Amino acid sequence: MQLTNRKVVVSNKVQSFAERLYLPAIAKGMIITASHLFKKSPTINYPEEKRPIAPVYRGLHVLKLDENGAERCTSCGMCAVACPAEAITMTSGERKKGEENLYREEKYAATYEINMLRCIFCGLCEEACPKEAIFLTDRLVDVEFERNDFIYGKDKLVEKVNERIDVTPRQTPEVLEFKKIPGLKHNELFDPKKLNKGHH
């Protein structure tokens, strides 16, 4: 008698002699593993070899110095405002007489901190910066033992005078084109005489 048609016949297949011997199956498996001897390992020996990264890769930040070795950042806070993760904090300082070789303009960042655990490396700070002071580089954030050590201050962010970091790959043709727009030459020093000559 059959009440439903959901009956399933359970397979009670008896192993054949070849299957009971195991040896053919073992040989098959051994050939599969042996074939991997001749395959290329996808591993990259990390510190010596590095995986190729895109020219616009967004890694650790750098605070750039200008051609004279003075800090470009004027502590305007645009980056902190733009930052979606609220990773950037800074305090401003006023340039004293005799510090012209240290800071490009009268106002500078006395402290400048990025919390690398908050940062999402979106690059909006770089985009917001009117002074071409902050850039994302191809470097990686170091490994630390303490959470506090991930708050990078100026000591880690400002590039060294003798170890300049090349950020030209970050300046894509689009960025260079953008800079050509009159009035957006934010790279120039402030000059009151030019104040009304912009076109925008």
| Contact residues: another protein, CB under 8 A | 26, 29-30, 32-34, 36-37, 39-43, 45
Looking at beta carbons only, is 1 or 31 nearer to another protein?
31
Shortest distance (Å) from residue 143 CB to another protein: 17
Looking at beta carbons only, is 21 or 140 nearer to another protein?
21
Shortest distance (Å) from residue 35 CB to another protein: 9
Shortest distance (Å) from residue 24 CB to another protein: 13
Report CA-CA distances (Å) from 61 to 12, 21, 172.
65, 63, 17
The candidate with the shortest Cα–Cα distance to 74, out of 60, 62, 63, 85, is: 63
- Going 47 to 52 to 55 to 56, the CA torsion angle's sign is negative
Look-up of token digits 């300049």: 164
Q: How are beta strands 134-136 and 107-115 bridged, if at all?
A: unpaired
Looking at beta carbons only, is 16 or 41 nearer to another protein?
41
Shortest distance (Å) from residue 51 CB to another protein: 15
Looking at beta carbons only, is 42 or 182 nearer to another protein?
42
Burial of 132 (0-12, 13-18, 19+ CB in 10 A): middle
